[in-house]
């Protein structure tokens, strides 16, 4: 299979030389050749091959100087929307959305969290009401929405039946962010940026053909999204000393005047933690090769958040006054987060959000305890109470 993939890559390069065509045209041709994500079905950017063989394709194309799809810019689409569409979407939905999602022509965002439903996501209050014309009308507010200001589409969960317990009255939709009822407002962060947004939905019309899964079963569909989100945040493939630990270790090696015995011991402990997390991520990806991510991904995301905050704090302490520098406090709206191209002070501030985004660390600990370790669940008095009877 490996040689067959290499042959397909070379045929693609001959038909569509990357140096001679527009990058988008090359990416479209790559998708059509089944070399976008090889484990996806034929006709949807893949070949039904083992997931692990994607590395073979990526290496061959990188060696040829072919453009990639800038995965960090479209990470929500790739890591969260696409697996959900593949599992629950109709054939028409898959063919409509997956190709421009993968090529980066259409950016996606996630309309899940709300001001009163963050850690307890199932308590969400955004309503979707069906109309006689087969169109749902959605009203509500979402918050902490990354890339909403650049997105064309959003994955959205809304309450469609308030008379049943909170987990059972939710439906999953795809929302057109260009609808006139969608208002995106920036949220200024501790870093001075507005990477996140709050989104107001007022009379937004969503055709029933843009629903994923059955009415009232949105919570089950959302679990696919959330499990993939945790893996995409905490399970990224890294080389040894990749990411933040590599940056801190490089500073340690090139700046001997900063070293102390106490800092040395702490850096070694962080290095070991980073290596354990990397190897655990490799094992998790091998387990995922045969199916959908499960609750185990919560461990990777939890470890990533903890380590990122420890490393950025260590880096600031190592650099002393120099580590407090942060050149750009201006109000900007970036398209993606860039930890590696910024100052230590920025990384320290931005890492504070790692234990919130993608599921708070407290919630992830509960998931690990209950769904991975099989420990008794916490008491939940609202489990069987209709949502409309809950105090808010």
Catalytic residues: 229
**Token pair listed for 100:** 């421009």
Phi-psi region of 147 (alpha: psi -120 to 50; beta: other; left: phi over 0): left
Rg of the chain over all Cα atoms, to the nearest angstrom: 22
Element (H, E) at 175: strand 170-176
Q: Calculate the CA 233 to chain-centre distance.
A: 6
Give every CB contact of residue 338 below 8 A, 6+ residues apart in sequence. Answer: none
CA end-to-end distance (rounded Å), the chain? 55
Between CA 173 and CA 73 the distance in angstroms is: 22
Between CA 358 and CA 20 the distance in angstroms is: 40
Cα–Cα nearest to 345, from 320, 377, 364, 371: 320
Between CA 339 and CA 346 the distance in angstroms is: 8
């Amino acid at each position: 299979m490996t040689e067959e993939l290499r042959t397909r890559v070379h045929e693609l390069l001959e038909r569509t030389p990357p140096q001679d065509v527009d990058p988008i045209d090359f990416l479209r041709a790559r998708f059509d050749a089944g070399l976008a994500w090889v484990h996806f079905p034929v006709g949807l950017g893949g070949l039904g091959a083992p997931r692990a063989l994607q590395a073979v394709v990526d290496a061959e194309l990188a060696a040829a100087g072919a453009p990639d799809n800038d995965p960090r810019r479209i990470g929500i689409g790739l890591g969260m929307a696409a697996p959900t569409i593949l599992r629950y979407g109709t054939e028409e939905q898959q063919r409509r959305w997956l190709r421009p999602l993968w090529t980066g022509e259409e950016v996606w965002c996630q309309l899940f969290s709300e001001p009163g439903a963050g850690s307890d996501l199932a308590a969400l209050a955004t309503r979707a009401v069906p109309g006689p014309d087969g169109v749902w009308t959605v009203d509500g507010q979402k918050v902490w929405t990354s890339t909403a200001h650049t997105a064309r589409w959003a994955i959205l969960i809304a309450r469609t039946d308030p008379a049943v317990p909170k987990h059972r009255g939710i439906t999953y939709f795809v929302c057109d962010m260009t609808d006139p009822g969608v208002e995106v407002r920036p949220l200024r962060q501790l870093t001075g940026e507005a990477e996140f947004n709050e989104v107001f939905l007022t009379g937004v019309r969503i055709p029933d053909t843009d629903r994923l899964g059955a009415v009232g079963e949105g919570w089950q569909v959302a679990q696919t999204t959330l499990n993939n989100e945790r893996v995409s945040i905490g399970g990224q493939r890294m080389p040894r000393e990749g990411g933040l630990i590599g940056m801190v270790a490089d500073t340690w090696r090139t700046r001997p005047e900063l070293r102390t015995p106490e800092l040395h011991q702490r850096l070694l402990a962080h290095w070991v933690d980073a290596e354990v997390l990397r190897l655990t991520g490799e094992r998790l990806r091998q387990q995922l090769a045969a199916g959908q991510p499960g609750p185990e991904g919560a461990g990777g995301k939890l470890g990533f958040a903890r380590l990122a905050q420890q490393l950025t704090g260590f880096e600031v302490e190592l650099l002393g006054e120099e580590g407090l520098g942060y050149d750009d406090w201006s109000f900007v709206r970036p398209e993606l987060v860039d930890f590696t191209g910024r100052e230590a002070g920025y990384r320290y501030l931005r890492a504070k959000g790692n234990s919130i985004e993608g599921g708070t660390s407290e919630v992830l600990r509960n998931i690990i305890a209950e769904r991975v370790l099989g420990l008794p669940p916490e008491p939940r008095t609202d489990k069987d109470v209709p949502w409309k009877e809950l105090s808010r």
